A and B are shown apart, each in its own frame.
Chain A
Amino acid sequence: MDKFDKLTGVAAPMPLVNIDTDMIIPKQFLKTIQRSGLGANLFDEMRYDREGNEVPDFVLNQPAYREAEILVAGENFGCGSSREHAPWAIKDFGIRCVIAPSFADIFYNNCFKNGILPIALPQEAVDVLMKDAEKGSNARMSVDLEAQTVTTSDGEVFTFELDSFKKHCLMEGLDDIGLTMAKEASIDSYEAQAAQARPWV
């Protein structure tokens, strides 16, 4: 998995609440059997019209935000389905960090498996970051995972909370399966004990 430590880049503002996984990547793009190539269809139904032309006022179509690496959004970002295609599309587009007041549980977990950092901050902080993002491509925001901070283009600093295990894995780019396989003895002994206690399983 890709490592994440520091990122400085353009942040795109999406001040909508409840941005759901169908908005992030509509289901017609879930028919792939690969992980890559979904960035072109990120936010597809907001980004393109029926004929496939770009909708000019959609944020990621505006010149200032085409290269955005950070997304600032409203509460409950990523609600809806478990589709990992959502973080795959976000990452494939080039976004490595999403900032919102809150995230849906499954989406939040899926981000970490794909080298994306989701940052939850209080609404007031997100409001400040949203204003900063609205300044366009001259305003570059900085994220420091080690220090757990987001810094606006004006130098205002916000500190965010994060699970220490998730942080460790993201900073080191660790593969979960490999980590768990190293604990195989525990799984073996659990399985043996469970087979005794609940043989019908």
Chain B
Amino acid sequence: MSPKTLYDKIWDAHVAHEAEDGTCLLYIDRHLVHEVTSPQAFEGLRMSGRKVRAPEKTIAVPDHNVPTTLDRDDATTMTEDSRIQVEALDKNARDFGVHYYPVNDVRQGIVHIVGPEQGWTLPGMTVVCGDSHTATHGAFGALAHGIGTSEVEHVLATQTLIQKKSKNMKVEITGKLAPGVTAKDITLAVIGKTGTAGGTGYVIEYCGEAIRGLSMEGRMTVCNMAIEGGARAGLIAPDETTFEYCKGRPHAPKGAQWEAAMEWWKTLYSDDDAHWDKVLTIKGEDIAPVVTWGTSPEDVLPITAKVPAAADFTGGKVGAAQRSLDYMGLTPGTPLNEVAIDTVFIGSCTNGRIEDLRAAAAILKGKKVKDGLRAMVVPGSGLVRAQAEEEGLADIFKDAGFEWRLAGCSMCLAMNPDQLAPGERCASTSNRNFEGRQGFKGRTHLMSPAMAAAAAITGKLTDVREMM
């Protein structure tokens, strides 16, 4: 047999039909659904009298729109149009009989955190969701990517997706990470190198010693942002860390089924002599704690750097950089660690897991948030929140002056009440720094949870290594 990549193996195991021109029907093992990108899809099913083909493989949870304030049971905290979307999901989940975690369920949270937590996401699966950060699930060695609403309807109706195969790209992070450097810094550093379109047309497999050394939480952070590099999906081959995480989860296989699954899962790696269409290698030791300065996730610099000038770039990027600098209100040559912030947001499907909260709490312990700064922690799920309370992390955050919220997407995209005011500057652990992403004219700097915690203390972008 010719050597295969991990992507090749998962792909081959899921082709239900292949046309002569290579267009395939890819069978989907898990379909995750949230309230924003699904109403039109369910409506389409109704209008054509179709059913959900595999409701037992379909999991729905409201996350984007739901308020994360403690009073969210009071319906007035949600705007009318948000409430309509959440109610539509309630009804669609009931009518079509899919698995559902409603707002008041302790297991509710961001769809990409709930899936793995409940054991829905497992190695070797195909996972889709009407959300670009579906790439997160690739951390399990599952082929996972975002789809549009028409495709959501297609998967609901047929449990397949019309696909052509992408190319294979390998991103290897060798060696060890320096202290203070985290999974978030890895994934941002990679996008800084490839650019936001460098992965277009590829499925990226992340490998190397530094990736192997990451926990599942860290691996999810890395894969989460594969889409920010333009890739269709990100993958990490499953290993003992993966199996350990999956074992005992509510929807993971048990007993003999677990043994059978393990037998297959252990074959899920790229063969030594597999063909790669593109390779990028970065030394783990060379990665520093980074922040973004502009309005594209590729605008990445080490925290020790200075704000660049538009003239430092070439081609179309010159204009884009100037626009970014104007939007972000930054002067070229300013050291990044002198840029003052107004808000700190810790959360999102990139960094809303327990390990992220631990990392932030470790920096914040016994410290206070800078006077006048707004700081909030939004756990990625109700279960993350409960665990953080049990471990005493919630008290550390609250004592420091952080708001301790309920689970949801919150200020990652500001579709709910959590938003930046025009001109406000935020140190954020989310994944997108686009114009207006966190609120009209809001300014976003992406970074790791530890870096965000450090910024909360000093009130400006800060090198976390000075606090360790």
Does chain A have a CB within 8 A of B305?
Answer: no
Does chain A have a CB within 8 A of B17?
Answer: yes
Does chain A have a CB within 8 A of B104?
Answer: no
Q: Is the CB of A187 within 8 A of B158?
A: yes
Identify which of B57, B158, B197 contacts A76 (C-beta below 8 A): B197
Q: Is the CB of A187 within 8 A of B81?
A: no
Complex CA gap A81/B332 in Å reads: 29
Q: Is the CB of A82 within 8 A of B148?
A: yes
Does chain B have a CB within 8 A of A26?
Answer: yes
Chain B min CB distance to A31 (Å): 4
Does chain A have a CB within 8 A of B430?
Answer: no
Q: Is the CB of A16 within 8 A of B43?
A: no
Q: Is the CB of A27 within 8 A of B43?
A: no
Q: Is the CB of B201 within 8 A of A105?
A: yes
Does chain A have a CB within 8 A of B130?
Answer: yes
Closest to A169 in B: B162
Q: Is the CB of A177 within 8 A of B157?
A: yes
Identify which of B65, B160, B253 contacts A180 (C-beta below 8 A): B160
Decide yes or no: A80 and B132 within 8 Å by CB, A113-B148, A183-B25 being known contacts: yes
The 0/1 profile, CB within 8 Å of B marked 1, for residues 68-92 of chain A is 0000001110011111100100000
Residues of B within 8 A of A186 (CB): 16-17, 25
Complex CA gap A141/B79 in Å reads: 43
The 0/1 profile, CB within 8 Å of A marked 1, for residues 177-203 of chain B is 000000000000000000011001100
The 0/1 profile, CB within 8 Å of A marked 1, for residues 437-459 of chain B is 10011000000000000000000
* B residues 221-261 in Cβ contact with A at 8 Å: 230-232, 253, 257-258, 260-261
Complex CA gap A18/B296 in Å reads: 8
Does chain A have a CB within 8 A of B207?
Answer: no
Residues of B within 8 A of A179 (CB): 162
Chain A min CB distance to B314 (Å): 11
Complex CA gap A114/B150 in Å reads: 9
Decide yes or no: A201 and B125 within 8 Å by CB, A31-B415, A33-B43 being known contacts: yes
Complex CA gap A171/B128 in Å reads: 28
Q: Is the CB of A82 within 8 A of B147?
A: yes
Chain A min CB distance to B342 (Å): 19
Q: Is the CB of A181 within 8 A of B157?
A: yes
The 0/1 profile, CB within 8 Å of A marked 1, for residues 19-42 of chain B is 101010101010000001101100
Identify which of B29, B50, B148 contacts A109 (C-beta below 8 A): B148
Residues of B within 8 A of A113 (CB): 148, 150-151
* A residues 48-76 in Cβ contact with B at 8 Å: 50, 74-76
Does chain B have a CB within 8 A of A30?
Answer: yes
Does chain B have a CB within 8 A of A128?
Answer: no
Q: Is the CB of B440 within 8 A of A84?
A: no
Stretch of B82-90, B350-358, B375-383, B386-394 at the chain-chain interface: B82-90
Does chain B have a CB within 8 A of A139?
Answer: no
Q: Is the CB of B253 within 8 A of A45?
A: no
* A residues 128-176 in Cβ contact with B at 8 Å: 163-165, 176
Does chain A have a CB within 8 A of B154?
Answer: yes
Chain A min CB distance to B46 (Å): 12
Q: Is the CB of A106 within 8 A of B146?
A: yes
Q: Is the CB of A106 within 8 A of B158?
A: no
- Residue pairs across A and B with CB atoms within 8 Å: the count is 189
Q: Is the CB of B150 within 8 A of A176?
A: yes
Does chain A have a CB within 8 A of B283?
Answer: no
Q: Is the CB of A177 within 8 A of B158?
A: yes
* A residues 1-57 in Cβ contact with B at 8 Å: 15-18, 20, 22-23, 26-28, 30-35, 45, 50
Complex CA gap A45/B40 in Å reads: 24
* B residues 142-158 in Cβ contact with A at 8 Å: 145-151, 153-154, 157-158
Q: Is the CB of A76 within 8 A of B230?
A: yes
Q: Is the CB of B415 within 8 A of A177?
A: no
Q: Is the CB of A104 within 8 A of B200?
A: yes
Decide yes or no: A106 and B132 within 8 Å by CB, A187-B25, A201-B125 being known contacts: yes
Q: Is the CB of B122 within 8 A of A105?
A: no
Q: Is the CB of A15 within 8 A of B65?
A: no
Q: Is the CB of B16 within 8 A of A35?
A: no
Does chain A have a CB within 8 A of B414?
Answer: yes
Decide yes or no: A23 and B434 within 8 Å by CB, A109-B148, A114-B150 being known contacts: yes
The 0/1 profile, CB within 8 Å of B marked 1, for residues 86-124 of chain A is 010000000000000011111001100110000000000
* B residues 117-153 in Cβ contact with A at 8 Å: 122, 124-125, 130-132, 134, 145-151, 153
* A residues 184-201 in Cβ contact with B at 8 Å: 184, 186-187, 190-191, 194, 197-201
Stretch of B210-218, B315-323, B395-403 at the chain-chain interface: B315-323
Chain B min CB distance to A109 (Å): 7
Q: Is the CB of A183 within 8 A of B17?
A: yes
Complex CA gap A198/B162 in Å reads: 22
Residues of B within 8 A of A82 (CB): 37, 130-132, 134, 146-148
Q: Is the CB of B50 within 8 A of A177?
A: yes
Q: Is the CB of B257 within 8 A of A199?
A: yes
Does chain A have a CB within 8 A of B405?
Answer: no
Q: Is the CB of A201 within 8 A of B29?
A: yes
Identify which of A26, A28, A102 contacts B197 (C-beta below 8 A): A102
Complex CA gap A30/B409 in Å reads: 14
Complex CA gap A43/B419 in Å reads: 19
Q: 6 closest pairs, A vs B, by CB?
A: A200-B253, A113-B150, A190-B16, A33-B39, A31-B81, A110-B148
Q: Please list 21 pairs of residues, one from A and one from B, whose beta carbons are closer than 8 Å in the complex, sorted by A's number.
A: A17-B319, A20-B296, A20-B435, A22-B436, A23-B436, A27-B415, A76-B200, A80-B132, A82-B37, A82-B147, A83-B148, A105-B230, A113-B148, A177-B48, A177-B158, A187-B160, A190-B15, A194-B27, A200-B258, A200-B261, A201-B57
Given contacts A102-B197, A201-B125, 6 further A-B contacts (CB under 8 A): A17-B317, A22-B436, A83-B36, A84-B130, A106-B148, A187-B159
